[in-house]
């Protein structure tokens, strides 16, 4: 059978050409912009969620505490006859943590309106997402704790009992956002918001929070896994009285 030669037309050659370097560059730029927009949108959404948690939940419990103190004249759980000024001052040991149903019932018995929280009967809890998009649950308690305050000599400190709101299972992103809002800077050692390990520290310098979003839940070792539920800590928020 004779070989038949069929020449390609110019239009066929043009149809089969690939993308030019300029076209590929434009596509990569567009993809980069879209990825950046998604990341920025996610950060903005998380920031707004943290702000809502702070405003609706944490400030809600702060107002509930103030309403309780103003109404009865002593902290929740204190001795009504001989107040000690400490949360749970009427129990043994004095100043122990007031949490869960006991805390909720104490406020409700005083006629205090509570934040909505997670649900009815779980007003002390609030579900939020960490920086990897995994669910976390912060829990509020109240306690009288040892608190480092300036002594008579500069850069020296002494321990005093202070009433605090205990914030359990707080991520670095949430702790940093709350710290900026409450104290104007992110510092786990000084201010009204402190890490549980540094509330009574005698260090004369500020300290970073002992966790960050690269650590996995239950660990202080950086893993940098996007799928991990990130590490949490406990923070103390000092009440005004």
Strand order in the sheet with 135-150: 125-129, 135-150, 157-171, 232-238, 193-195
Closest CA to 79 of 69, 68, 87: 87
Higher pLDDT, 137 or 17: 137
In which element (H, E) is residue 51 found?
Answer: helix 21-52
Q: Are strands 232-238 and 193-195 parallel, antiparallel or unpaired?
A: antiparallel
Mean per-residue pLDDT for 7-29? 62
Mean residue pLDDT across the chain: 87
Q: Are strands 135-150 and 157-171 parallel, antiparallel or unpaired?
A: antiparallel
- Cα–Cα distance measured from residue 3 to residue 190, given in angstroms and rounded to the nearest whole number: 89
Is 90 exceeded by the pLDDT of residue 28? Answer: no
**pLDDT interval class at 94 (50, 70, 90):** confident
Those residues whose C-beta lies under 8 Å from the C-beta of residue 237, and which sit 6 or more positions away, are 58, 62, 164, 165, 166, 167, 178, 182, 192, 193
Q: Which tens digit of pLDDT belongs to each residue from 163-182?
A: 999 999 999 999 999 999 99
Is 80 exceeded by the pLDDT of residue 111? Answer: yes
In which element (H, E) is residue 161 found?
Answer: strand 157-171
**pLDDT interval class at 224 (50, 70, 90):** confident
Whole-number pLDDT of residue 9? 53
Is 60 exceeded by the pLDDT of residue 86? Answer: yes
Whole-number pLDDT of residue 52? 86
pTM listed for this prediction: 0.81
Tell me the two tokens of residue 154: 């500069």
Give percent of the chain with pLDDT exceeding 70. 83
Tell me the two tokens of residue 205: 């310098």
> For residue 140, how many other CB atoms are within 10 A of its CB?
26
**172 neighbors 229 (Cβ within 8 angstroms):** no
């Amino acid at each position: 059978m004779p070989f038949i030669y069929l020449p390609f037309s110019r239009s066929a050659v043009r149809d089969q050409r690939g993308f030019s370097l300029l076209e590929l560059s434009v596509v990569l730029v567009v993809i980069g912009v879209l990825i950046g927009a998604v990341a920025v949108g996610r950060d903005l959404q998380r920031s707004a969620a943290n702000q809502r948690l702070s405003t609706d939940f944490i400030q809600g419990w702060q107002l509930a505490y103030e309403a309780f103190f103003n109404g009865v004249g002593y902290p929740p759980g204190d001795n009504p006859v001989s107040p000690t000024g400490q949360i749970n001052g009427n129990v043994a040991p004095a100043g122990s943590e007031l949490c869960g149903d006991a805390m909720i019932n104490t406020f409700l018995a005083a006629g205090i309106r509570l934040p909505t929280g997670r649900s009815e009967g779980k007003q002390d809890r609030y579900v939020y997402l960490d920086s990897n998009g995994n669910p976390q649950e912060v829990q509020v308690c109240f306690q009288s704790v040892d608190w480092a305050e300036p002594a008579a000599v500069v850069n020296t400190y002494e321990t005093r009992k202070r009433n605090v709101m205990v914030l359990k299972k707080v991520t670095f992103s949430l702790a940093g956002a709350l710290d900026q809002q409450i104290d104007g800077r992110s510092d786990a050692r000084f201010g009204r918001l402190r890490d549980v390990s540094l509330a009574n520290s005698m260090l004369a310098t500020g300290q970073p929070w002992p966790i960050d979003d690269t650590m996995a839940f239950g660990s202080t070792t950086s893993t940098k896994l996007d799928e991990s539920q990130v590490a949490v800590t406990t923070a103390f928020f000092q009440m005004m009285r």
